[in-house]
């Protein structure tokens, strides 16, 4: 216990120290939200990766999909690495950095407003961001409850309070730069932790080959009658597995807290380095998480696993797999999951608070807002967002402990599940086409916003009315993302053309001459 507490104290001390050190970078809006657009490749890549993978992935998704698909769940991690990281950096990285600087936009809603000359689009995008990021923020706490109770025997509520206060301190003090540096430190912890835990769990099962052989002998006729299906290449349900890969991989292309990482990159060579670093990070962390979860059925004799699966509550699987590890490894896992959660939490609250301040309040509700006042309001909103998400998480936890049938609790949980689908379904297609295609129209953006967010809300409240395949929020989220890529060009071609002067002005930044066309080099 002394070692575990000492590791926690050191971890929290470093996080706060970094926040205080980075105060000098957080004196204006660009510095607080984007780190002055001068963040290097290692910090940007790790900020991207640690914002991507949270306790939701390590505890929830890895346990759930590892149980459902066996070792084939590793495809989800590889999809996250090569679609969600590699392709995202290659396709979005350079163009996002160039056009957002040219348009002087600090957030995704502000990009839509300036790219399409529409205050309505900016406000609409900020409202969607606010609605769907808050419950997603609350979900980050859920994966910590069982781990903290297992490791420390302390109530989960105190974990929420401590995590909220400490994250708030370093984000409020140092802004994006503090978040980026802490993300780098937390990313190192995540890499070491995943490798150590994976090696220890496989060793407890007699090694990798023995664990695979054990998985081959597992049968579950309610899932599949095929022998050895849980250690097969595509698992028992390839179609639904594909839906998970699309949602969790392609979804990052339309999430404000992910795309805004590209706004802050310093130079062309940093994009190239960041692409490689981010991809390798995702291979180790995401691939390792889902690979670990794929062996969950080897622990079917654990009472906690049996109880969790019978209630469709898969959060207990990973903690049960880890409960037999040495104390020092359990302490490392706690720090790992804390790192994953705090890095994502800091990214989400900066995205949420900056969006409400810059895109909703500034020039709409508060007409004259100085740089100093904007930074102050962003900091106030950070406190509010962390407080709201913590209260939601505590409320959920208490209701679940009381076995409450409260419909509000169910809807909150469902809203967390549809957050990715709604945000990426609304924003992915118009953002991507807005960077590349001059014919993209304002109307097409509105249709994508309404379709993506609207379908996911309908799926949450009227799920039984959807076709069987789309009743899953994951499959529905993947569907709205892919559908948006078709809807935006069709609506753009059928609607009035955008003003030529507006489009030419936006795209002129790509042809600015440096050592080459700027679309090929930032230097």
Q: What is the pLDDT of residue 488?
A: 97
Query: For residue 158, what pLDDT band results from cuts at 50, 70 and 90?
Result: confident
Q: How many CA atoms lie within 13 A of 394 on its CB side?
A: 15
Residues 258, 80: Cα–Cα separation, whole Å: 13
Q: What is the pLDDT of residue 347?
A: 86
pLDDT at 412 exceeding the cut of 60 = no
Residues 252, 259: Cα–Cα separation, whole Å: 7
Higher-pLDDT residue of 342 and 415 is 342
Give the Cβ contact number of residue 257 at 10 Å. Answer: 26
Q: What pLDDT digit, counting tens, does each position of 231-262 carry?
A: 888 889 898 899 889 988 998 999 998 998 89
Q: What pLDDT digit, counting tens, does each position of 299-345 carry?
A: 888 787 787 777 777 777 887 788 777 878 878 888 888 888 788 88
Classified as helix, coil or strand, 406 is coil
Q: What is the pLDDT of residue 414?
A: 57
E strands, 307-361, are none
Considering 199-213, 339-353, 397-411, the range whose residues carry the highest mean pLDDT is: 199-213
Return the CATH fold of 2-401+410-511: Sodium/glucose cotransporter (1.20.1730)
DSSP 264: T
pLDDT at 288 exceeding the cut of 50 = yes
Q: What is the pLDDT of residue 280?
A: 95
> Mean pLDDT in the chain?
85
CA angle 149, 296, 224 (to 5 degrees): 140
- Stretch 219-240: mean pLDDT: 85
Please give the share of the chain, as a percent, with pLDDT higher than 90.
33
Higher-pLDDT residue of 198 and 31 is 198
Distances (CA, A) of 46 to 191, 270, 343, 456, 521: 11, 13, 10, 30, 22
Q: What is the pLDDT of residue 409?
A: 44
Residues 115, 507: Cα–Cα separation, whole Å: 9
8 Å CB contact between 246 and 473: no
Instruction: Indicate the range of 142-146, 220-224, 513-517 predicted with least confidence.
Output: 142-146
- Stretch 363-368: mean pLDDT: 80
8 Å CB contact between 136 and 419: yes
Residues 328, 487: Cα–Cα separation, whole Å: 52
Q: What is the pLDDT of residue 132?
A: 87
Q: What pLDDT digit, counting tens, does each position of 100-154 carry?
A: 999 999 889 999 999 999 999 999 999 999 888 877 777 777 666 666 666 677 7
Residues 509, 106: Cα–Cα separation, whole Å: 17
Q: What is the pLDDT of residue 417?
A: 67
Residues 202, 321: Cα–Cα separation, whole Å: 10
Q: What pLDDT digit, counting tens, does each position of 13-48 carry?
A: 888 898 888 887 777 887 888 776 777 889 889 989
Q: What is the pLDDT of residue 406?
A: 45
Q: What is the pLDDT of residue 150?
A: 64
Q: Quickly list DSSP for 95-158.
A: HHHHHHHHTT--SHHHHHHHHTT-HHHHHHHHHHHHHHHHHHHHHTTGGGHHHHHHHH---HHH
- Stretch 411-440: mean pLDDT: 85
- CA 468, 474, 477, 478 torsion-angle sign: negative
Any idea which residue has 């890969």 for tokens? 245
pLDDT at 400 exceeding the cut of 70 = no
pLDDT at 415 exceeding the cut of 70 = no
Q: Quick one: tokens of 102?
A: 């040219």
Indicate yes or no: pTM above 0.95: no
Q: Quickly list DSSP for 416-481.
A: HHHHHHHHHHHHHHHHHHHHH-TT--HHHHHHHHHHHHHHHHHHHHSGGGS-GGGGSHHHHHHHHH
pLDDT at 203 exceeding the cut of 60 = yes
pLDDT at 413 exceeding the cut of 60 = no
Query: For residue 410, what pLDDT band results from cuts at 50, 70 and 90?
Result: very low
Phi first, then psi: give them for residue 494, nearest 5 degrees.
-90, -15
Q: Quick one: tokens of 39?
A: 């963040």
Instruction: Indicate the range of 184-188, 267-271, 308-312 predicted with least confidence.
Output: 308-312
């Amino acid at each position: 216990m002394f070692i575990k507490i000492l590791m926690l104290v050191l971890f929290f001390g470093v996080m706060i120290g970094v926040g205080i050190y980075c105060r000098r970078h957080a004196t204006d809006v660009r510095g607080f939200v984007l780190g002055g657009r001068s963040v290097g490749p290692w910090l940007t890549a790790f900020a991207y990766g640690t914002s991507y993978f949270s306790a939701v992935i390590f505890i929830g998704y890895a346990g759930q999909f590892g149980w459902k698909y066996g070792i084939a769940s590793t495809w989800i991690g590889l999809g996250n690495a090569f679609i969600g990281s590699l392709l995202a950096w290659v396709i979005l990285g350079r163009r996002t950095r160039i056009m957002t600087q040219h348009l002087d936009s600090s957030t995704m809603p502000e990009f839509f407003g300036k790219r399409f000359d529409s205050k309505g689009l900016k406000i609409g995008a900020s409202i969607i961001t606010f609605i769907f990021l808050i419950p997603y923020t609350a979900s980050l706490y859920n994966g910590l409850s069982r781990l903290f109770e297992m490791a420390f025997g302390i109530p989960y509520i105190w974990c929420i309070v401590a995590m909220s206060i400490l994250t708030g301190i370093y984000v409020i003090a140092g802004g994006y730069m503090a978040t980026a540096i802490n993300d780098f430190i937390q990313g190192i912890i995540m890499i070491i932790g995943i490798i150590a835990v994976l090696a220890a769990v496989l060793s407890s099962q007699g090694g990798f080959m023995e664990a695979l052989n054990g998985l081959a002998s597992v049968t579950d006729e309610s899932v599949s009658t095929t022998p050895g299906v849980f250690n097969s290449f595509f698992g028992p349900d390839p179609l639904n597995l594909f839906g998970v890969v699309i949602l969790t991989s392609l979804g990052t292309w339309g999430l404000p807290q992910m795309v805004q990482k590209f706004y802050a990159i310093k130079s062309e060579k940093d994009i190239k380095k960041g692409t490689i670093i981010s991809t390798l990070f995702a291979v180790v962390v995401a691939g390792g998480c889902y690979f670990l979860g794929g062996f969950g059925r080897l622990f079917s004799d654990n009472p906690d696993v049996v109880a969790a699966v019978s209630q469709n509550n898969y959060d207990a699987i990973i903690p049960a797999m880890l409960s037999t590890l040495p104390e020092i490894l359990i302490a490392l896992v706690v720090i790992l999951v804390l790192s994953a959660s705090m890095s994502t939490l800091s990214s989400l609250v900066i995205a949420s608070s900056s969006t409400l301040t810059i895109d909703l309040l500034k020039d709409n509700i508060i007409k004259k807002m100085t740089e100093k006042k904007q930074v102050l309001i962003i900091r106030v909103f950070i406190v509010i967002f962390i407080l709201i998400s913590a209260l939601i998480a505590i409320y959920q936890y208490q209701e679940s402990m009381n076995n409450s049938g409260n419909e509000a609790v169910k809807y909150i949980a469902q809203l967390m599940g549809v957050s990715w689908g709604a945000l990426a379904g609304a924003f992915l297609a118009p953002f991507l086409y807005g960077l590349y295609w001059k014919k993209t129209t304002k109307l097409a953006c509105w249709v994508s916003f309404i379709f993506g967010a609207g379908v996911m809300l309908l799926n949450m409240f009227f799920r039984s009315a959807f076709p069987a395949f789309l009743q899953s929020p994951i499959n529905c989220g993947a569907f709205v993302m892919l559908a948006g890529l078709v809807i935006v060009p069709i609506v753009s071609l059928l609607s009035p053309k955008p003003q030529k002067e507006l489009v030419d002005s936006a795209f002129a930044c790509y042809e600015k001459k440096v050592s080459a066309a700027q679309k090929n080099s930032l230097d």
